[in-house]
Amino acid sequence: MGGDEGTRVNEWFVPKAGGRRFRLLVGLSFYPYSLMNASYVLIGSLLAPSIHYDRMAGMAVVYLLSVGVAAHALDAMGPNKPWGEFLSRRQLGWLAAGALVPALAIGLYYAIEAAPLLIPLGLVELFFLLAYNLELLGGRFHTDLWFAVSWGFLPVLAGFVVQTDSLSLASVAGGFFGLFTAFVEISASRPYKSLKRQPGNATAPVADRLESILKGIVATVLTTALLLLIHAVLG
């Protein structure tokens, strides 16, 4: 697979079929983890005493755009080139901006119309999006803990806040569910990424175990969101 050495193309979520650029573009989205991130928003919304499904869906779209597209495009601009050179820095920059601008617009709309508390929460998330993915401030915030806070804990709070414009003990507890599961995901993802970049089969058993952990944690978060949704709709 010429030109893909050292990239993340061998990881489990990258399609095995299709053209090279298609496979890399799908991989760039980190779609299982992006869906996991959006599921945290659903979990937060579904913990609210009354649910506005349009707000829940809108906030999920905000995170799919800002994290699933913009954050990963910014990350791909880093010196480690996790997806190689299939997109230029300018193209990645336009991709990030094209996703982040509508995400901010949607978030601001809900903040003005329903939940002003989203504004400080959104500013914190925007800071993490830039500081984590661009490794600003010497990479101080490019750590597993800050990853879990920004993409696990805070999305649950955002989902609850867009419904209620407030926080509660239940929302904070849900936030810790997001934090712990996101921390497991990133803790397994880093060594898994390194192992999948290495040639040969010597590390395959360890990589397979880490892959099982990653699939399991994604399934856990998505299933939790689905169960809460079913309970809210049918209960």
CATH code of residue 152 = 1.10.600
Q: Supply the range of the domain harboring residue 43.
A: 20-234
**Per residue in 49-94, pLDDT tens?**
999 999 999 999 999 999 999 999 999 987 777 788 888 999 999 9
> In this structure, what token pair is assigned to residue 109?
């709309």
pLDDT one-digit tens code per residue, 108-125: 999 999 999 999 999 999
- How many percent of the chain have pLDDT more than 90? 79
Residue in the structure block whose two tokens are 């954050």: 71
In a domain, 10, yes or no: no
**Residue 1 is assigned to a structural domain of this protein:** no
CB within 8 Å of 91: residues ≥ 6 apart:
none
Does a structural domain hold residue 12?
no
Domains in the chain, number: 1
Domain annotation covers residue 15: no
The reply to whether 93 falls in a domain is yes
Instruction: Look at residues 158, 194, 169 and name the one whose alpha carbon lies nearest to residue 64.
Output: 158
**Residue 96 within a domain:** yes
- Name the residue among 26, 16, 137 with its Cα closest to residue 72: 26
128 lies in some domain: yes
**Closest C-alpha among 186, 130, 114, 131 to residue 153:** 186
C-alpha 147/C-alpha 132 separation (Å) is 7
2 part of a folded domain:
no
- pTM of the model as a whole: 0.94
